[in-house]
């Protein structure tokens, strides 16, 4: 039986200009529905891996495939918007001039079923009472719900989360983690979570790797 690999990274290397590589001989395979956590200290290159997968940077060497299609190698580079991925970075990047409903709808505005998709996500994330509010009227946890809901609207093959719970107090973080775990399992979403917090990695019962000296090393739970 053929295994459907959502992400495959082979012999990836990345460096800025002529500096020594910050990522070296990096390999990773993710199957559909898997959650993979990358844990490491600040400046270790965790977010750089996400930027390479997303297409914001191009690797110096190696191959990146998403859903069995090469999106970046020596001769190919597919732009971010055509990689079928969802992105949630630390600053959330919600549009301040759009209400919550239209923030979620932004990436699928031309989809024939956009209204149904948005309504389903609003209900799933418990945002019904907030749909007409604007980002500045929401708490940090509410903003994060909106950011993740928006990223899932186009039904991405792969969701990238960069420090998704950073800046939230412990009680709110635990509550949001519980909610997100249920949603991710229900949707069978393939995810990479980058965090400096090892306990966050353990919470999602994911495969955990630590980034050391530019290489991923799997960690036993």
Global confidence as pTM: 0.90
Domains of the chain, CATH where assigned: 5-84+156-219 (3.40.50.300), 95-154 (no CATH)
Retrieve residue 124's tokens.
């799933």
Strand (E) or helix (H) holding 143: helix 140-152
CB-based contact 100:132 (threshold 8 Å): yes
Q: From the first residue on, what is the mean pLDDT of each consecutive set of 10 residues in the chain (221 residues)?
A: 83 85 91 89 87 95 96 96 91 90 95 96 94 95 92 95 84 84 88 82 73 79 46
Residue 212 exposure: Cα atoms within 13 Å on the Cβ side: 6
Alpha carbon distance 62, 212 (integer Å): 19
Distance CA 130, CA 135 (A): 10
pLDDT of residue 3: 67
Return the pLDDT at 208.
80
pLDDT value at position 221?
46
């Amino acid at each position: 039986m053929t295994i459907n690999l959502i992400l495959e990274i082979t012999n990836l290397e990345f460096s800025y200009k002529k500096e020594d590589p910050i990522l070296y001989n990096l390999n990773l395979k993710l199957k559909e529905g898997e959650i993979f956590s990358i844990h490491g200290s600040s400046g270790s290159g965790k977010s750089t891996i996400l930027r390479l997968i997303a297409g914001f940077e191009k690797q110096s060497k190696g191959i990146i495939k998403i859903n069995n299609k090469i999106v970046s190698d020596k001769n190919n580079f597919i732009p971010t918007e055509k990689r079928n991925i969802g992105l949630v970075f630390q600053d959330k990047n919600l549009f301040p001039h759009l209400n919550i409903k239209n923030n979620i709808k932004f990436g699928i505005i031309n989809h024939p079923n956009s209204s149904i998709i948005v309504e389903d996500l609003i209900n799933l994330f418990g945002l019904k009472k907030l749909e007409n509010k604007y980002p500045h009227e929401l708490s940090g946890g509410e903003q994060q719900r909106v950011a993740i809901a928006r990223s899932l609207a186009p039904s991405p093959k792969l969701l990238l989360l960069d420090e998704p719970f950073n800046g939230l107090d412990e009680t709110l973080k635990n509550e949001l983690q519980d909610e997100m775990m249920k949603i991710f399992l229900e949707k069978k979403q393939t995810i990479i979570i980058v965090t400096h917090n090892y306990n966050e990695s353990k919470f999602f019962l994911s495969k955990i790797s630590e980034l050391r000296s530019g290489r991923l090393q799997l960690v036993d739970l």
